[in-house]
Structure 1
Amino acid sequence: MLAAVTLISLSACAEKEPPPAEVTARPVKSMLVAAPAQGGVRNFPGRIDAEHKAELSFRVPGKVVKLEVTEGEQVKKGQLLAKLDATDYQVVVKDRQATYDNTKKDFDRAKDLVDKGHISRRDYDKIEASFKSASAALEKARLDLRYTQLKAPFDGSVARRYIQQFEEVQAKQTVFSLMDNTQLEVKFDVPENLILRLTPAKTDAEKGGKVSVWAAFDTVPDKRFDLVFKEIATKADAKTQTFQVTYTMPAPAGLVVLPGMTANVTADLSRALEERVVHFVPVKAVSANGKLDSRVWVVDEASMTVAARKVSLGRMKGASIEVTEGIEPGMRIVTAGSAYLAENMNVTLMKQTEQAEPRAEDIPVMDKQ
């Protein structure tokens, strides 16, 4: 009888115990942390220019009586390009020559007379000064006559001609633009953050060799032409905040590359950049704990729970923020609703097209981690 009563009592107690509470998993939007791209290879639009170029002009005014070359013509160093009417300059040379001859005779006589004491030292000094002045005037007249001929200062091609024959030109008025197209400059603009991460020492063998930079052209996109570093501008462009970098290359054989054309520049900066392993995550993926430390929530896909991970942040980039420390490739982090999570909370992963709307009653108390 007692056993029967006990059995009935236990059965009644068993019927009154509530069933175990179902654990509700919060849906979260997430992403896998990917390995950062190798940021050493950069592409830039480049501009071609001649390494050696000059705007040529006469050093004296006059009428152009002869134009020896046309635009696009190849010229040699010392070749005559244009000539002014030299008549007036020849007359001046003859006049200065006559004055020089007279003052030289006076000076030669004065040297003999002063030695014998027949003239004073003061008179001798005046005669000597007149002779030197006449000599300088003759030299200038000869130079002016020589300057009526304009010659090429180096081998190159006539890029542009600015005057016509029989035209009156002024001294220092541009007559020709001359370029040496055998050696070309390739110029491109580099952003500020990249310039700041470059140091001159990294162009030496000390850091594993020079930065590898090459150019390609649309006409032969599969062929690359190695470039040699020349200079970096020390002042940024006021509008773009970029720095102009200049490299050089010899004119490619069998390919017409002229100043003003464009090139596709590729720079392999892997050996020159001090790369940090960084990741960009959505701003919404980052929240703060009670100590205002930045954190992200990492999903344990085995237990489908979340745990906070302290992170260090870098710069903003649109709707993303740079995480410099705290996460690694392969981690899955919560990207939406992170403010409504708690340690070891069960979660389910949403599809990318879905978005959870947190409920006020589900907001946990912020932990002190």
Structure 2
Amino acid sequence: MIKTYSKLAALCLSALVMAGCQGEQEETQRVPLVISTITLEEPVSINTREFNGQVVAAELTPLSFPVEGEITELMVKPGQQVKRGQLLARLDNRKLIQRLEDAIAQHDLSYRQLTRAQRLLGKKLISQAEFDELQANYKKAKANHQLVKKQLNDSKLYAPFAGQVSHTTKETFESVAPGETVIELYQIDQLYVKLQVPDSLLARFNPQNQGGDYQPTAYFAGNKQAYAMDYLEHTSEPTPQGMSFDAWLSMPQTQPPILPGTAATVKVDLNQAGLSSADGYRVPMTAVVPATEPGQFVVWKVKQDKAYQSQVEVSQIHTSGVLIAQGVNLGDQIITSGQAQLREGQPVTTVQQEQNL
């Protein structure tokens, strides 16, 4: 009996201790997190925008053989410049040469037989049916001769334009299938810059205000000179990573040449480019947090001393700050620190941070 009472007392004591610990833990959770904030002032209007891009190969073209075979000669290497019509690679053509010789012999034989049959037909020494058969054999031999001759020519790979070899995917003595890329070639007289344009920016495109002669300005890594570029094209569908579109600008290649892979910064005057100016609220980069979805962003707002997450549309990211087009309003209190520790509805103690952007 005494042992039973002792067990009950021990259980009660344990329950009281656990309750006390939970109370202390809940009390600890109620302690507000100290964070920094800014209060949004009047929205700003941005007429100039910068985009980060990269130099890409102009008109990158994969080259392949239309016939199968084994590569016996690969005459170029990456980085090498070639002329239009220059021989780049060759397949083993010994079997094709033999087939061509057979096709020539068959073509000559069928031609002589047809010529002889024409004289015999005029003398009515052969029937029309026999003549028709010989004529069909000649046409078949002629077609086969032309086919094998083309295949033999297709065993050589020539440069379709003057350019530079970007990449070779095969080596000597490797086998290739018809249409399999062997060499990638790009133009060296043109320079392309690829960049991404947000859908929110394209949505503000005004065709009536488009400046046909306007050229954005580009700056390249390691080069302080500014270059005027022409708009080339943009995709009709957004990229899988986010709501943005790929766009390309072009210009004549420089000397010394600017190589593919070089980082580029493109400055665009939105009004001259036929785009309305970007209006929004500028906040520090520390205020904007990537969302779970690619290309999406959120901010944390303070309402009645509690933190709440809000999705926003970012129209511009710059070293001086981020321009938010939608999702925030005048007077909103935006958290700029400690977002990784925040939970929805968590109590916070704010430390006002002046807007200095």
Query: Which TM-score band applies after superposition, normalised by the shorter structure?
Result: 0.5 to 0.7
- TM-score, reference length from structure 2: 0.63
Q: Identity, % of aligned pairs?
A: 29
Cα displacement (A) at 1:113: 4.2
Q: Could you give the per-residue CA deviations for residues 154-189 of structure 1, whole angstroms, max 9, x where no partner exists?
A: 111122222222333333232212122221211111
Q: Distance in 2 between matches of 1:193 and 1:277?
A: 10
1:210 maps to what in 2? Answer: 213
Structure 1 residue 141 displacement after superposition: 0.9
| Counterpart contact for 1:160–1:176, Cα < 8 Å | yes
Q: Which residue of 2 aligns with 1:263?
A: 264
Kept in 2: contact 1:211–1:272 (CA 8 A): yes
Counterparts of 2:41 and 2:281 in 1: how far apart (Å)?
Answer: 11
Question: CA 1:268/1:133 → structure 2, altered by over 3 Å: closer, same or farther?
Answer: same
SS of the residue 2:114 aligns to:
helix
Question: Structure 1 residues 353, 52: closer, same or farther in 2, change over 3 A?
Answer: closer
The match for 1:147 is 154
- Cα distance change on mapping 1:73 and 1:31 into 2, 3 Å: closer
Deviation, 1:43, is 0.9
- The answer to whether the 8 A contact 2:40-2:329 is kept is no
Find the counterpart in structure 1 of residue 106 from structure 2: 99
Shift of 1:280: 5.5
Q: Structure 2: 5+ residue runs without aligned partners?
A: 1-38, 284-300, 302-323, 334-350
Displacement of 1:89 after TM fit?
Answer: 0.9
Residue in 2 that maps onto 1:74: 81
Q: Secondary structure, in 3 states, of the residue corresponding to 1:182?
A: strand
Secondary structure at 2:261 match in 1: coil
Alignment of 1:274-293 (within 5 A): 275=276
Residue 200 of structure 2 corresponds to: 193
How many positions carry a matched residue from both structures? 259
Which residue matches 1:233?
Answer: 235
Gaps of 5+ in 1: 1-29, 285-314, 322-333, 337-351, 355-369
Quote the offset at 1:281 in angstroms.
11
1:58-86 deviations in Å (ceiling 9; x for gaps): 22222322222222111111111122222
Quote how far apart the aligned CAs of 1:200 are: 4.7
Distance 1:316 1:183 in 2: 36
* Partner amino acid, structure 2, of 1:225: Y
Q: Which amino acid aligns with 2:202?
A: I
SS at match of 2:260: coil
Maintained 8 Å contact 2:280/2:326: no
Asked if 1 retains the 8 angstrom alpha-carbon contact of 2:64 and 2:181, the reply is yes
Mapping of residues 244-263 of structure 1, within 5 Å: 244-254=246-256, 256-263=257-264
* Alignment match of 2:326 (pick from 311, 314, 317): 317
Does 2:172 correspond to 1:170?
no
Specify whether residues 113 and 200 from structure 1 end up closer, same or farther in structure 2 by C-alpha distance, changes over 3 A only. farther
**Given the superposition, is the C-alpha separation of residues 269 and 277 from structure 1 closer, same or farther in structure 2, using an over 3 Å criterion?**
closer
TM-score using structure 1 length: 0.62
**SS in structure 1 at match of 2:135:** helix
Q: Between Structure 1 and Structure 2, whose CA radius of gyration is higher?
A: 1
The alignment partner of 1:247 has SS state of strand
**Change beyond 3 A, Cα 1:58–1:249:** same
Task: Tell me the distance in 2 between the aligned counterparts of 1:253 and 1:242.
Answer: 33
Among 220, 223, 226, the alignment partner of 1:224 is 226
Contact 2:89 2:157 in 1 (8 A): yes
Whether contact under 8 Å (1:40, 1:273) holds in the other structure is no
CA distance in 2, matches of 1:248, 1:318: 35
Question: Within 2, Cα distance between the matches of 1:67 and 1:199?
Answer: 51
Which digits, 9 at most, give the CA deviation of each residue in 1:291-327, with x for residues without a partner? xxxxxxxxxxxxxxxxxxxxxxxx9734326xxxxxx
Q: Which portions of structure 1, spanning 4 or more consecutive aligned residues, are displaced by more than 6 angstroms?
A: none
Q: Does 2:48 align with 1:41?
A: yes
Instruction: Name the CA shift for 1:160/1:252 in 2 (closer, same or farther; >3 Å).
Output: same
C-alpha change, 1:231 and 1:136, in structure 2 (3 Å) is same
1:202/1:209 contact within 8 Å kept: no
Aligned AA for 1:245?
Answer: A
Secondary structure of 2:216's counterpart equals: strand
Deviation at 1:108, TM superposition (A): 2.3
Deviations 1:76-131 (A, max 9, x none): 11111122222111100000011111111222233444455554444433322221
Please state whether the residue corresponding to 2:73 is helix, strand or coil: strand
Change (3 A) 1:113 1:217: same
The 3 A distance-change label for structure 1 pair 239 and 162 is: closer
- Residue deviations 1:242-297, cap 9 Å, x none? 1111111111223x422233211111121344637967599x9xxxxxxxxxxxxx
Partners of 2:103 and 2:93 in 1: CA distance: 15
